[in-house]
Structure 1
Amino acid sequence: MAANHRDKADSKNPVEELDLQEEVRKLNVAFKGMADLVGQTLLQNKEMKAAIQSLEKHVRDMQLVILSLEKTPSSSIVDGLVNEKRDGVGEATQPLRWNSRSNSPPMNKVAKTSQGPSPTQALIGAYRKEEASLSNRKKLFNSPDESQNKVKTPIENEHASLTPVGVIKCPQPPTGQTLPEGIPSNFPPTGDMLLLRSEVILACYVFHPDLDSTEVLIRIGNLKVNRLDLHCFCPGIEISPEIITLLTMKTTHNQHHSTFQTTWALPPSFVDDVLNGHTISELGSTYADVWMKPMDYLKYVYVPIRDEQGHWFLMVISLEDEAVYHLDSYLGHLDIMKRKESITVVTRAISEIVSTGTYSRHLIHIAQKLKAWKIIEPTGIPNCGKSDDSAVYVMDWLQMEEDFNPQITCDLNIGKTRMTSLMKLLTGFHNEERLKLILKSNSYWKFVMSQIA
């Protein structure tokens, strides 16, 4: 009897064990699902917290602007802007009418002209005007009002039968704000740049020949750019490598503060280090943490390159198209081969950095196939036949960021691209000097306008 009972018990143990394993498996699946849900919730909360902190920072910045406008007299800001002697941009000298004490700059006049609406009301009014101006710029071709397009009725006379039915007034091309006559500038804005009034005020301050050339106007971390550095934006002057680096830093900053990160923008020094033989380990330690941050939705990699002759071109790795694009404003048969060789070497370096780094399996799998992708030259880019403004084209292409489109079919307005690119560098949230710059430029604008009144 005891033996039979023991045999029955043993026969039940395997079934009970299987049932227990099934229950444990179900519990593990349930716990894993809950863990994934908790992880997603924490990630969403982290992104929401970062967005709220960024919004709070912007609100504090605007409050500082308003408080500064209310508490800081215009003359106290202007006092630090005009020096007796100035070096750098242009051959600037102090106006002769300021040499004697009796002809000192009329600071009191500037202060008197600010009477009337409070600074806060003036600031709100200025923003409303800018919004109205911006809405007009969003119209297709800045179309004129309906009153300008009304058909003119012919005047009745004895030759009425020969008079045309009506005359349609052709719309004028859109024009933006410009500087009033009498204001000197190393790079005066033109109407075809379509600048807002606030941008014209910035341009007046940045390119005025009488101001300190060493004043820092852009700062991103440890990188500082002064007025003399920005002089290369003037027409006919070659854009410096530091400006291209600044644009890649702007893109990197924007991506790091975005909830949907899609783009890497590597500085020109990356290509120099690759071509100079730096090891993959050295490249990874220098660029991976900041410039090649792991991204779940990486789509594009921008790499500006400058050849031995000083010509700039851009390579863009598109993970969506599985292709490497070669964007170039001056393509010669011999040049294409040399530049493709550089692109191939840089592509191989990026592939190896990702393959040996702390990236997702998906991205590592793509990087391993990267070396076999074709290099494509888009057909719509005009061949300029020279390299003088090649960096201007690269500046424009870099600003596509996540909106990259290889179908480029139009030529550039070089002057407009130089100016609008600078405005984005000056006013973007990446620029830690933007608030001081806005305050100083507006105060100096009031001073300059009082001088030509």
Structure 2
Amino acid sequence: MRSLCPAYQPHSDLINCSALIASEAARKSLAPTAWFFQPHFASDINQDASLETLINEHESRSMPETNTLEHVYIPILDAVGGWYLMLLEVMDRTRFVLDVCRNPERIPIRVDLMDKICGVLGKMFVSPRNSVNFWQGSPDPTEWGEYQYPDAIPHDLPSNDTAVWCLYWLQNDGVFSNKIFKHMGSSDRVRMRAAWYILQADANQMRGFIDVRADLLWRDIGGGK
């Protein structure tokens, strides 16, 4: 959590944790509308893991059964340390790349990896438990057209800032609109929000203690009111 302080680059575990929290929230929903993959999904694909391994590792964890799927979130860590997010919009069959550090030299490498990820997802989407979400068109994301890079987000920020943006996108709990493409505002505010998001997660065993202490401290600051 210390790495969320403005002087540091957020640790990779925070992206992992945020994706896991979002995925657990989707799982508890009566009708999940989003799937959130953890970062090692992309890493496993990049390392040529078998389809069977990927299904065993990620399907039950990141793809809760649903017939109301709208979005798929895949955070990806670049080899040089920058984060970006591939976002699949299922209803419109659109592939977005949310990338605030768009180095022209790295784009072909990233596209190759995203193509590889989409190819694997196409095979996972056609399984009986998942195919109900893709009856309106091709379940293969490689056939969904060119990658869309939203103009509204920056594209030349230092790689140190990319993890903050990725945290910002993952904290929307699958409630997606084009507003997600607007500038996120204060980086410090997103860092604080990320800390609170993780601390307040159901999986955090200290959550109740934090709630009580926060309430006591607030009362103390407010003079008991």
Structure 1 SS opposite 2:140: helix
Name 1:373's counterpart in structure 2: 144
Q: Which has the higher contact order (CA 8 A, sep 6+)?
A: 2
Q: CA deviation at 1:237?
A: 0.8
Name 1:257's counterpart in structure 2: 28
Name 2:125's counterpart in structure 1: 354
Match of 2:68 among 297, 306, 309: 297
Structure 2 SS opposite 1:404: coil
Taking the aligned partners of 1:440 and 1:248, their CA distance within structure 2 comes to 27
Q: CA deviation at 1:404?
A: 1.6
Q: Which amino acid aligns with 1:331?
A: R
Q: CA deviation at 1:367?
A: 5.7
Is 2:47 aligned against 1:279?
A: no
Instruction: Go from structure 1 to structure 2 and tell me whether the alpha carbon gap of 1:441 and 1:385 turns closer, same or farther (over 3 Å shift).
Output: closer
Taking the aligned partners of 1:298 and 1:321, their CA distance within structure 2 comes to 12
Structure 1 SS opposite 2:185: coil
Taking the aligned partners of 2:130 and 2:212, their CA distance within structure 1 comes to 45
Name 2:190's counterpart in structure 1: 417
- The correspondence of residues 311-390 of structure 1 with structure 2, limited to 5 A, is 311-355=82-126, 357-363=127-133, 365=135, 366=137, 368-374=139-145, 375-390=147-162
CA contact (8 A) 1:254 1:430 kept: no
Structure 2 SS opposite 1:378: coil
Name 2:19's counterpart in structure 1: 248
Structure 2 SS opposite 1:403: coil
Q: CA deviation at 1:423?
A: 1.1
Q: Deviations over 1:131-186 (max 9, x none)?
A: xxxxxxxxxxxxxxxxxxxxxxxxxxxxxxxxxxxxxxxxxxxxxxxxxxxxxxxx
Match of 1:432 among 201, 205, 210: 205
Instruction: Go from structure 1 to structure 2 and tell me whether the alpha carbon gap of 1:400 and 1:284 turns closer, same or farther (over 3 Å shift).
Output: same
- The correspondence of residues 18-97 of structure 1 with structure 2, limited to 5 A, is none
Q: Which amino acid aligns with 1:334?
A: E
Taking the aligned partners of 1:343 and 1:414, their CA distance within structure 2 comes to 27
Q: Which amino acid aligns with 1:425?
A: I
CA contact (8 A) 2:68 2:133 kept: no
Q: Give ranges in structure 1 of 5+ residues lacking alignment.
A: 1-229
Structure 2 SS opposite 1:401: coil
Q: CA deviation at 1:363?
A: 3.1
Output the TM-score relative to the length of structure 2: 0.88
Q: Which amino acid aligns with 1:434?
A: R
Instruction: Go from structure 1 to structure 2 and tell me whether the alpha carbon gap of 1:438 and 1:362 turns closer, same or farther (over 3 Å shift).
Output: closer
CA contact (8 A) 1:352 1:367 kept: no
Name 1:404's counterpart in structure 2: 176
Instruction: Go from structure 1 to structure 2 and tell me whether the alpha carbon gap of 1:261 and 1:427 turns closer, same or farther (over 3 Å shift).
Output: same
Taking the aligned partners of 1:433 and 1:367, their CA distance within structure 2 comes to 44
CA contact (8 A) 1:283 1:353 kept: no
Q: Give ranges in structure 2 of 5+ residues lacking alignment.
A: none
Structure 2 SS opposite 1:402: coil
Q: CA deviation at 1:380?
A: 0.6
Taking the aligned partners of 1:294 and 1:253, their CA distance within structure 2 comes to 12
Q: Deviations over 1:229-283 (max 9, x none)?
A: x111111211111111111111111111212210000000111111001011110
Taking the aligned partners of 1:353 and 1:361, their CA distance within structure 2 comes to 9
**Identical-pair percentage:** 20
Larger radius of gyration: 1
Structure 1 SS opposite 2:85: strand
**Number of positions where the alignment pairs a residue of Structure 1 with one of Structure 2:** 217
Taking the aligned partners of 2:132 and 2:45, their CA distance within structure 1 comes to 25
CA contact (8 A) 2:42 2:76 kept: yes
Give the RMSD, CA atoms, in angstroms. 2.1
Q: Which structure has the highest helix share of the two? A: 1
Output the TM-score relative to the length of structure 1: 0.45
Instruction: Go from structure 1 to structure 2 and tell me whether the alpha carbon gap of 1:272 and 1:361 turns closer, same or farther (over 3 Å shift).
Output: closer
Taking the aligned partners of 1:376 and 1:243, their CA distance within structure 2 comes to 26
Taking the aligned partners of 1:344 and 1:426, their CA distance within structure 2 comes to 35
Instruction: Go from structure 1 to structure 2 and tell me whether the alpha carbon gap of 1:348 and 1:383 turns closer, same or farther (over 3 Å shift).
Output: same
